[in-house]
């Protein structure tokens, strides 16, 4: 079961990341742009999704485009929420306790890539060990 600490470990090696506490909980930014955040059960979220968010930890991450978000929801509807709010689109929200650590790390890195400037992505790629 993944936790907020798993997210912190996933972002630890990403250049330019800043964690901030906000009303809804922890959020992670790159160059003042959010790429991952805890989701709060805001009144603007549909009631069925709000009930899930109120009862367990839910995190949202940026995705490259809306099609990616829809594919994730379709692939694993028990993990990914079908919708939250229109804010920060495109994004996908998921049940933190239902996702495995490797998939979480992949989602966080992809979200960071969606918001990070090219020079930070390049620095990260150059620092990452390639496949052996």
- Which CATH number covers residue 38? 3.90.1150.30
Count: domains in the chain: 1
d(CA 41, CA 95): 13
Counts for the chain of helices (H) and strands (E), in that order: 5, 6
Say if 132 falls within a structural domain. no
How high is the pLDDT of residue 1?
78
Domain for residue 131, yes or no?
Answer: no
Chain segment 69-102, per-residue pLDDT in tens: 889 999 999 999 988 776 777 899 999 999 999 9
Torsion angle, CA of 34/68/54/77, rounded to 10 degrees?
Answer: -160
The predicted pLDDT at position 132 comes to 43
Q: According to the model, what pLDDT value does residue 131 have?
A: 55
What pLDDT is recorded for position 9? 95
Range of the domain at 101: 4-126
Asked if the structure places residue 107 within a domain, the reply is yes
Tokens of residue 113, six digits: 């890539």
């Amino acid at each position: 079961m993944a936790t907020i600490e798993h997210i912190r470990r996933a972002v630890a090696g990403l250049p330019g990341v800043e964690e901030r506490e906000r009303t809804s909980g922890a959020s992670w930014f790159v160059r003042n742009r959010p790429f991952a955040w805890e989701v709060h059960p805001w009144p603007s979220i549909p009631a069925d999704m709000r009930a899930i968010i109120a009862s367990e930890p839910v995190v949202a991450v940026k995705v490259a485009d809306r099609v990616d978000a829809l594919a994730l929801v379709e692939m694993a509807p028990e993990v990914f929420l079908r919708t939250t709010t229109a804010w920060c689109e495109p994004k996908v929200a998921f049940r933190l306790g239902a996702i495995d650590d490797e998939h979480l790390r992949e989602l966080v890195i992809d979200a960071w890539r969606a918001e990070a400037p090219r020079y930070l992505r390049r620095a990260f790629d150059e620092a990452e060990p390639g496949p052996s």
